[in-house]
Amino acid sequence: MKRTLFQSVLLVVLICSIPVRGQIPQTLSYQGVLTDANGVIVPDGKYTLTFKLFDADEGGKAIWSENQKIFIQNGLFNVALGSCQSSRHSFRQTILACDRSRRGF
């Protein structure tokens, strides 16, 4: 009985100690409010928005971009960035490259 209990506990410990590897998401959810230049919420309707990632906080070059046609209601929108392939690099490749550069690879 003790041996069976010991083996069961040992098996559970071994299974739980296996490293779990997470995956980098293929898309990123983003939501916001669309306003005009005066800060007024735009009318409901379909809009084409361009999303970009840059290599610097200011004055950098775009390293990824994507156009999405979305429906705006009450100024609100919700998109999944990376769901369209309109850039020469995929969203996943761009995120991986940014992650490596921030770690100094």
Eight-state DSSP code of residue 38: T
Q: What is the pLDDT of residue 104?
A: 41
Q: What angle do CA 30, 45, 83 make, to 5 degrees?
A: 35
- Read off the tokens for 23: 């995956």
pLDDT for 88 beyond 80? no
Cα–Cα distance between 94 and 59 in angstroms, integer? 18
* pTM across the whole model: 0.60
Q: What is the pLDDT of residues 34-68, one digit of tens each?
A: 999 999 999 999 999 998 888 888 888 888 888 88
